[in-house]
């Protein structure tokens, strides 16, 4: 992964916009990348982009892949809660917005 947070954010934005790019990769590897983005210590923007990418990946993947990557949900909820606390936002609203943005593609 790049040392530049803007590069990491850009990658997650691409994954969020075109999750098909990563659907044929090994689920555990994709989930690992998403986890690292969700827990990025340097950038809230990377965390938010990773949250959107994770939602896009999970909503686009087949049922088997969803089950394999379901452990991402705890990290997604964790980062949602953290962002909401930090910015005084409603966590359900953030998750809903992530899911709605993936359905509008």
Closest CA to 24 of 61, 49, 67, 54: 61
Q: What is the pLDDT of residues 6-30, one digit of tens each?
A: 999 999 999 999 999 999 999 999 9
Mean pLDDT confidence for 76-89: 77
Confidence of residue 1 (pLDDT cuts 50, 70, 90): confident
H-helix or E-strand containing 84? helix 72-87
Report d(CA 105, CA 100) in Å as an integer: 9
Sequence ranges of the domains in the chain: 5-103
Q: What is the pLDDT of residue 20?
A: 94
- pTM (2 decimals)? 0.81
- Whether the Cβ atoms of residue 38 and residue 47 lie closer than 8 Å to each other: yes
């Amino acid at each position: 992964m790049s040392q530049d947070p803007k590069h990491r954010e850009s990658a997650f934005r691409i994954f969020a916009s075109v999750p098909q790019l990563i659907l044929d990769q090994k689920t555990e590897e994709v989930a690992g990348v998403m986890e690292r983005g969700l827990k990025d210590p340097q950038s809230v923007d990377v965390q938010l982009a990773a949250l959107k990418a994770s939602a896009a990946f999970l909503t686009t993947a087949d049922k088997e892949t969803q089950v394999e990557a379901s452990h991402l949900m705890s990290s997604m909820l964790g980062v949602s809660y953290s962002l909401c606390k930090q910015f005084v936002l409603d966590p359900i609203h953030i998750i809903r917005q992530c899911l709605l943005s993936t359905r509008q593609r």
